[in-house]
Amino acid sequence: MMSKVLLLTFVFSLTTVFHNGKGLAALTGDTNNVVNDGLSDAYRLPDTTEPVSYELWITPAIESNSFHGQVDIVLRAKQYTAEVILNSKDLIVSSLSTFQDLKTNRTLAIKDYVYEERNERLVVKLEKLILPSRLYKFTVVFSGILREDYTGFHKYFYDSGNQSRWIALTQFKPIYARRVFPCYDEPKFKTPYTISISRERQHTALSNMPLKRIKFNQQSDMVWDHFETTKPIPTYLVAFMVSDFDKNSVNGDNIAMHTRKEYIEYTTYMMGKAPNLLKGVEKFTRIPYMLPKLDLVGIPLLSAYNMENWGLNSYEEFFVTLSEDSQTEDKIQGTMTILHEILHQWFGNMVTAPWWDVEWLNEGMCNYLNYYITNMLEPEWEMEESFVENVHQFALSWDEYDDTHPLTFAVSTPDDIVNAFDTISSDKSAALFRMLECVVGEDYFRISVNKYLDDYAYMVAGPTDLWNTFDYVLYDFDYVIEDDVSINMYMDSWTKQPGYPLITVTSTGDGRYNVSQKRFSLSYPRQTTEDVKWFVGLTYTTETEMDFEELTPSVWLKPTDEHTIMTVPEDSGWIMFNIQSSGFYRVNYDEKNWKLLLIQLITKPDRIHVLNRAQIIDDAFHLCRAALVPYNYYTSLLEYLLMEDHVTPWNTAVTGLSSIMGAIRRYPTEYSMFKEYAKGLADILYDKLSGNQIHNNKTKIGWSKLLSWTCNMGNSRCVKSASTHFDGWMNGHEIPSEMEEAALCVGMKKANLTTLSKIYKLYKTTRSPSQQKIILRALACAENLQTLLSHLDLMRLDVANRGSLQSFKTVCENVVATPAGVKALVGFLSRKLDTIRSSPVGDDLHKYIAVVYSALAPKVATDEEIVVMDKIRRSVKPGDLKAVLDGIYQKIESNLLWMERDHKKIMKAIIKM
C-alpha cells in the first residue's frame, strides 16, 4: 500500500533494529529466560492488571553508552491472576522484587519472569494469585543501551564552536518507552509519574514537570534532580533530558525556551510569539493550560523531530531560533510547528486516544486547528487557502486508489503501530474535521469540541465519544443537520471506509439536477467493485446567486440513495458544487455546465471564489485521468490562467502539469510537444510574477515554487534573471528569497568546481532547514549524469539517521524532476542491486530503497527503467519492504496503462489549443 511507504521512510520508520532485534539481553548473554519458541500472537497487554503510579529513577552513562535505573510500580489487580505482564524491549532486568500488598503489607514471591522477544513483553509469574481491586507494589531494576537511533532514551553529539557536546533525551512515541523501563506501554494506561534523573553538576535536567528538589552527592560530582509528580499520562508522553542548554523565559509566563548556549539569543522572536500561541489554544478550547510550566526545547540536529511530550515539547532547533527578519514562509512554518505540539497538550495529552488505530483523531484535530488558530492570529497569511492546497488536495490525491485504507483500521503488532501514521491519518482526518465544522457551523463545532475536552479530561476517549458529544450538543440546541442523520452515522461513513465519493451532477432541464455518488478511483484497471457510499452534505451556488460564503450543506446524499433530484430557478446559469472545497469529494458535471464554468473563468474569474477556481482545475485533471471527461476540458480550463493572479490555482495547475510530464516521457515526441505547451503557460506565469501581479506580491508567499517551475520549463527571462542573481551571490550579494531556489538551480547547471564548492558550503553552514531543502533541490538540477550520481552517493545509503534519510528523500524527489535525473537515479538503484539482494530483512538500507523507489514510481516511463524497478522489487526478500515495493509497483503499472490509453488524447487536446 502506498500509505506504508510514507510510514516506513519518514514518520517513525527512522528507527534501527538493534542487533537484528535480539535485544541487549541477547547481546550480553544474559537473556533473562528469553522465550523464542511457541510465542503467543497477543501483542496487546491483557486486561488483568493496570498501573496506578510509577516512580522512576534513571542514570545515564554517556561514556559507556548506557543507562541504568529503577522503577517502582503500583498496580491494581482487575481480576484474579498469577501473571503480571509488562512491555519491555532491549533491557536487562537485574532484579525484580516481591509484590507487596499495600493493604496488608504482605508479600507475594515471584516464581519466575520471562521475556517474550517477539511480543516485546516481560511476563512476571507469581507464586500465588493476586486479588481484584487490591493495590500491589513491586520494583524492577534494569539497564539498557543509550541509543543512537532517536528512539527511547538516546544521545547524540553536536558541534558547539570548537567543541563537541552531547545531549541525552527521550522519544517514546509511539512504543519506545518500553526500551527504557518495563511498563504498560499502551496509551489507554494513563498514570501519574514521579521522575528522578541523575546528572553531572555542570548539566541540567528537564522533565514533564517542574523541579521539586535537588540532592547533591558529596562523594561524587553527581546530582539527583527530583521532579514533581505528573498528572495521569500515557507512557509515550513521559519525557526527560540532560544537557548543558541555556534557558530563555519571560517573567510571569509559564513558557521557557531551551537551546544550546550560542543560539539562546536567537530565541527572542519565537519566545515573544509562543505565549500568544498558547493563549490562542486556551481561547479556542476555553480550558486553561493545565500544567505549571511548558518547556520548548530546540534540538540541534536539523530534521530531528518535533514531539508533544506533556510540559516538555521538543522541536527542530530552527523553529525556536527564527527572527523578525526571517522569511515569511519560515515564520509560517515555525509558528505552525510550535503551535501543532502545543495543541497536542489538549488533544492527545489531556484527552488520549485509547489505542493507535484511532490516534488519527488527535493528529487530524491538531492539524486542522493549527491552520484555524494560525489564521486567527495571523490573518494576512491566508491559512485557509494554504490548507486547501497543502492538506485537502494532497489528501484527495493520496486517497484516490483502490488499495488505500480507512482512517480506522486494525492495528496490533509493533510494526502495525509504526505504520499507522501516514498522510491518510494526518491530512485526510484534518480535511474531515474542516468538513464537519462546515456541516455543523463554527459555533457548534467549537462548543462540541470543548465539551468533549471537558467531559474526558485526563481520560481516554475515541472517535465515538467525540461524535456522541456532537450529537448531544446539537440535540440540546435543537439543531438537526439532516433528518435521520446523526453525527455518529455521518462521520463513521467517512472514517471507517476507504476513499471518497465522486459527485456527478447532470441537468435534466427546467432547473432540475440529478445528483449521485460513486467512489472515485484512479486505479487502472479497477481492483475492487465494492459499492461504497457515504453520507454526503452538498453545498452549491449558481451563476445568478453567486454565494460562495454559505458552507452549510443544503442537499444530502445518503448511502441508501441511488440519487437525489434538486431544483434551482430556471435560467440560473452555471451551477457549482463543493463551495470553497469544504467537502472531501470531487465533482463532475455534464458538458453544458463545464462549458458555462469555463466561460465564466475566461471572462471574469474573480466572480468564482479562489478556492473553487483551484478546485475546478484539480477536479478536472483527476477526472481526465479517470477517463470521465475529455482532456480538452482540462486544457481549455488552463487557458483561463491568463486571467489568474492568485498563487493557489497556479500551484494546483503546476502539480497536474508536472504529473503528465512525468508519465508522458515514455513517448518522446509527445513529451517534447507537451513540454512546449507547458512552457507557454510558464511564460504567462513568469510575466505575472516579474510584474508583481500575483496575489501576495508583498509577502511573496508561494512564489519560490512557481519561479523554479518557470525556470525549469525554460522561460528565458526567468533563466536570465536567476543566472544574474546567482552570479551576484557568487560575488557576495544576497539572492531574493523567492528567487533563491531558481538561482541555485541555474548555478548547479553550470556545475564547475567553484560553484559546487560554494553551494555545498552553504548547505553545511545554513541554520535554516528550508534553505537546506532548497539547496538539496538545486543539486538535482545538475544536467551532468556523473554529477547527479556523485550527489546521490553523498547521501549515504549505509547510515540511517533522520538527517541523512530526510536529505536523501529531498534529493531523490527532486532529481526525478528531469529525465536525466530519473535515468541517474534508476542507474544508482541498479548499481545497488547486489547489495539489496544480500541485505538482511530489517537492514537500514531498506529504508533508503523505499525512498528511492517511491520517488521514482510516478516518474519512470521507459522500458529500461521499468525493467529495473521490477527487478528491484523481485530481488527484495519477503517482508514489509517487499509488500511496500509491490504496492508501489502497482502504481507504476497504473501510470503505464494511463499513458498508453491517453497519450494521444492529451496531444489532441493541446494541438486544438
Q: Is residue 781 scored above 90 in pLDDT?
A: no
Determine the pLDDT at residue 756. Answer: 78
Region 338-358: mean pLDDT is: 97
* Amino acid letter, residue 262: E
Alpha carbon dihedral 43, 47, 50, 56, in 10-degree steps, equals: -10
**pLDDT confidence band for 731 (50 / 70 / 90):** very high
* DSSP state at residue 424: I
CA distance 442 to 440: 7
Give the percent of the chain with pLDDT over 70. Answer: 91
**What SS3 string covers 187-214?**
CCCCECEEEEEEEECCCEEEECCCEEEE
* Lowest model confidence (mean pLDDT) among 92-106, 144-158, 604-618, 777-791: 777-791
Determine the pLDDT at residue 302. Answer: 53
Interacting residues of 163 by C-beta distance below 8 A, sequence separation 6+: none
Q: Is residue 538 scored above 90 in pLDDT?
A: yes
Q: Is residue 843 scored above 70 in pLDDT?
A: no
Strand bridging mode 163-171 / 240-243:
antiparallel
The three three-digit cell numbers of residue 888, written as one number: 508501489
Interacting residues of 323 by C-beta distance below 8 A, sequence separation 6+: 266, 268, 269
E runs forming strands in 10-65: 34-35, 49-61
Q: Report the range out of 203-207, 315-319, 757-761, 780-784 with the highest average pLDDT.
A: 203-207
The three three-digit cell numbers of residue 711, written as one number: 525556470
Region 837-854: mean pLDDT is: 71
Top-confidence residue, 388 or 882: 388
Determine the pLDDT at residue 32. Answer: 39
* Lowest model confidence (mean pLDDT) among 15-19, 281-285, 320-324: 15-19
Arithmetic mean of pLDDT over the chain = 89
Cβ-contact 770, 793 below 8 angstroms: no
Cβ-contact 869, 855 below 8 angstroms: no
Phi-psi region of 714 (alpha: psi -120 to 50; beta: other; left: phi over 0): left
**pLDDT confidence band for 752 (50 / 70 / 90):** confident
CA distance 908 to 688: 28
Q: Choose among 523, 529, 347, 572: nearest CA to 893.
A: 523
* Amino acid letter, residue 449: V
Q: Is residue 810 scored above 90 in pLDDT?
A: no
User: Cα dihedral sign for 760, 766, 769, 770?
Assistant: negative
Query: Burial, 205: exposed, middle or buried (Cβ in 10 Å; 0-12, 13-18, 19+)?
Result: buried
Has this prediction a pTM greater than 0.75? yes
User: Cα dihedral sign for 349, 351, 355, 356?
Assistant: negative
CA distance 540 to 326: 41
Q: How far is CA 120 from CA 45, 183, 613, in A?
A: 10, 11, 52
First to last CA, the chain: 38
CA distance 217 to 225: 11
Question: What's the pLDDT tens digit per position in 619-637?
Answer: 999 999 999 999 999 999 9
Cβ-contact 582, 388 below 8 angstroms: no
Question: What's the pLDDT tens digit per position in 34-90?
Answer: 443 333 457 899 999 999 999 999 999 998 999 999 999 999 999 999 999 999 999
Q: Report the range out of 34-48, 809-823, 838-852 with the highest average pLDDT.
A: 809-823
The three three-digit cell numbers of residue 851, written as one number: 525512498
Q: Choose among 588, 420, 321, 333: nearest CA to 6.
A: 420
Determine the pLDDT at residue 475. Answer: 97
CA distance 294 to 279: 13
CA distance 681 to 736: 23
Cβ-contact 177, 171 below 8 angstroms: no
Determine the pLDDT at residue 789. Answer: 66
Query: Burial, 331: exposed, middle or buried (Cβ in 10 Å; 0-12, 13-18, 19+)?
Result: buried
Q: How far is CA 277 from CA 130, 268, 479, 556, in A?
A: 48, 15, 32, 37
Q: How far is CA 300 from CA 122, 150, 151, 162, 268, in A?
A: 35, 13, 16, 15, 17
Q: Is the peptide bond before 498 cis (omega within 30 degrees of 0)?
A: no
Q: How far is CA 189 from CA 49, 196, 601, in A?
A: 10, 21, 55
| Greatest extent of the chain over all pairs of C-alpha atoms, in Å | 93
User: Cα dihedral sign for 110, 111, 114, 120?
Assistant: negative
Q: Choose among 708, 845, 719: nearest CA to 774.
A: 708
Cβ-contact 183, 71 below 8 angstroms: yes
Determine the pLDDT at residue 671. Answer: 93
* Lowest model confidence (mean pLDDT) among 123-127, 309-313, 331-335, 757-761: 757-761
Helices (H), strands (E): how many in the chain? 31, 29
**pLDDT confidence band for 806 (50 / 70 / 90):** low
Q: Is residue 10 scored above 50 in pLDDT?
A: no
Q: Is residue 696 scored above 90 in pLDDT?
A: no
Determine the pLDDT at residue 16. Answer: 27
Q: Which helix (H) or strand (E) holds 259?
A: strand 255-259
3-state secondary structure of 883: helix
Q: Which helix (H) or strand (E) holds 577?
A: strand 575-577
CA distance 589 to 507: 8
Top-confidence residue, 250 or 135: 135
Name the β-bridge partners of 352.
460
3-state secondary structure of 248: strand
* Amino acid letter, residue 256: A
Region 130-144: mean pLDDT is: 97
**pLDDT confidence band for 913 (50 / 70 / 90):** low
**What SS3 string covers 579-600?**
HHHCCCCEEEECHHHHHHHHHH
CA distance 296 to 338: 8
Determine the pLDDT at residue 749. Answer: 82
Question: What's the pLDDT tens digit per position in 478-493?
Answer: 999 999 999 999 999 9
Region 447-455: mean pLDDT is: 98
Question: What's the pLDDT tens digit per position in 275-317?
Answer: 999 999 999 999 999 999 999 999 987 555 689 999 999 998 8
Question: What's the pLDDT tens digit per position in 824-837?
Answer: 889 888 887 777 67
Q: Is residue 11 scored above 60 in pLDDT?
A: no
Interacting residues of 595 by C-beta distance below 8 A, sequence separation 6+: none
Top-confidence residue, 126 or 803: 126
CA distance 441 to 375: 17
Q: Is residue 451 scored above 60 in pLDDT?
A: yes
Question: What's the pLDDT tens digit per position in 737-746?
Answer: 889 999 999 8
Question: What's the pLDDT tens digit per position in 641-665?
Answer: 999 999 999 999 999 999 999 899 9
Where do we find the cell 542514570? 59
Interacting residues of 206 by C-beta distance below 8 A, sequence separation 6+: 239, 240, 241, 243, 258, 295, 297, 312
Q: Which helix (H) or strand (E) holds 613?
A: helix 610-625
The three three-digit cell numbers of residue 142, written as one number: 534494569
Question: What's the pLDDT tens digit per position in 665-693?
Answer: 999 999 999 999 999 999 999 999 999 99
Give the percent of the chain with pLDDT over 90. Answer: 69
Instruction: Spell out the alpha helix ranges (H) of 665-715.
Output: 668-690, 703-712
Cβ-contact 661, 671 below 8 angstroms: yes
Give, to the nearest 10 degrees, the angle between helix 610-625 and helix 647-664.
10
Cβ-contact 29, 106 below 8 angstroms: no
Region 512-529: mean pLDDT is: 88
Q: Choose among 14, 33, 51, 323: nearest CA to 194.
A: 51
What Rg, from alpha-carbon coordinates, does the chain have?
29
Determine the pLDDT at residue 858. Answer: 87
832: phi then psi, degrees, rounded to nearest 5:
-95, 5
